[in-house]
Structure 1
């Protein structure tokens, strides 16, 4: 727990509700800030520290020590505060659904990260997955191309473990996985992967990945285009349970 924030609330006489109202966020957002590993957006950190009359560093000390790359931090903060996440992947599985072995194989195979930094990046990726296990997880919907599930990332044993892990998490009520079958021809997903996040205040942000680093987009035209792409890829995908049946068949092929 973030004991410094808890103490600041008690000393100031503020409650989670009153701080949320003054900062302009949802009550659940402030409640998540009480988790030690949940860092608010910079503008929310500044506003909360002002309300509590405490230096930012006293409540959230040295956030620069975090393990993720600097360019990824804005998206990670959006991801942590999201109430809904929609992810489309055409090349690899979403990071939030990757097993440790699969994630390591992806990071090593990409060959853009120094080998000495692989474990640090791996730890950061696996730590992000905790948002799907918290008490109030976001609704997470993933659409993946069938080719992703047939590529032997890490070898047969790694793929067998990964596909079985996908089948298991599909049982969670807040997780939905949809597969675009190989029989589908050209569709919007061929233009590349993306993620759509919806925050507690219904604000929408998108994330686009590339060979060097990711890009967060919030402009109206960009969001409209990404939402249209989502409707296209979701429309071409199998239903959740049809996808689970396909995953079950695929697990057998990796034995």
Structure 2
């Protein structure tokens, strides 16, 4: 952990100590558990935007801790939310992932990953760095004790053309079927005839950590956010259950993916 990060964690500890409150008391004040506060202060868990904002709002610090987190992001080429999420992803025992627009990054082929970054948003060098990082993240699925990945996809993800690259989608869906056969990977598809359902509000991921705590990631066209406030996590978990119930069972989902694959050949 770098010296700047150490400084931020030290400031968090000093701030609480000067208030004269325990970690449990501090956590209750900002809506987190005492164990969560302890984990952040000791470097076991990265401080998130939501955590820092809760401190700033409750204690009226004039965004002191939010500014610290933004400074950390400025000193790193990767956005702070992405650095935070990659760490959570590596630690997770279970990942519940809903996707509305693209295949989950952990399940993408290199060609598909590159295609999702097309359109002029990134330079060629940036695309190379992002794809390399994304493929590196996939190694967690092949380690000795991989996380359980449960992915729910909207059927439109399977049928949406990706640029004018012959064979790209067939290759990607074949890869998806292979991965879906792994014991620790489940892929479920919400069929088009499900009509309007709650998942259309946007994609999200819920990670369950070794201590049983949960943290989530959600994004849109303009921003991405790490969510760890208990109330927000509970609402996302409820949304997950509703979306998961709209999806086909595992075997039927794989059969649908195979059927769609034929349309791309």
Q: TM-score, normalised by structure 1?
A: 0.73
Q: Residue 160 of structure 1 corresponds to which residue in structure 2?
A: 170
Shift of 1:117: 0.7
Q: Residue 5 of structure 1 corresponds to which residue in structure 2?
A: none
Q: Which of these residues, 244, 248, 252, is aligned with residue 254 of structure 2?
A: 244
Structure-2 separation of matches of 1:94 and 1:204: 19
Contact kept? 1:83, 1:138, Cα under 8 Å: yes
Contact kept? 2:96, 2:151, Cα under 8 Å: yes
Structure-2 separation of matches of 1:129 and 1:144: 18
With 84-93 and 111-120 compared, the bigger mean Cα shift is at: 111-120
Structure-2 separation of matches of 1:202 and 1:127: 25
Distance 1:147 1:156, change over 3 A: farther
Q: Secondary structure at the match of 1:44?
A: coil
Structure-2 separation of matches of 1:45 and 1:253: 45
State yes or no: 1:77 paired with 2:87.
yes
Q: Secondary structure at the match of 2:234?
A: helix
Structure-1 separation of matches of 2:42 and 2:124: 31
Distance 1:42 1:142, change over 3 A: farther
Q: Residue 122 of structure 2 corresponds to which residue in structure 1?
A: 113
Give the alignment of 1:90-169 within 5 angstroms: 90-109=100-119, 111-154=120-163, 155-169=165-179
Structure-1 separation of matches of 2:42 and 2:79: 16
Q: Residue 263 of structure 2 corresponds to which residue in structure 1?
A: 253
Q: Secondary structure at the match of 2:194?
A: coil
Contact kept? 2:81, 2:226, Cα under 8 Å: no
Q: Residue 229 of structure 1 corresponds to which residue in structure 2?
A: 239
State yes or no: 1:175 paired with 2:188.
no
Contact kept? 2:93, 2:147, Cα under 8 Å: yes
Aligned length: 198
Structure-2 separation of matches of 1:117 and 1:180: 33
Structure-2 separation of matches of 1:45 and 1:187: 34
**Structure 1 residue ranges without an equivalent (≥5):** 1-40, 47-63
**Structure 2 residue ranges without an equivalent (≥5):** 1-40, 47-73
Contact kept? 1:108, 1:115, Cα under 8 Å: no
Q: TM-score, normalised by structure 2?
A: 0.70
What are the Cα deviations for residues 125-168 of structure 1, in whole angstroms up to 9, with x where unaligned?
Answer: 11000000000000000000000000011434110000000000
Q: CA RMSD in A?
A: 2.3
Contact kept? 1:67, 1:120, Cα under 8 Å: no
State yes or no: 1:212 paired with 2:222.
yes
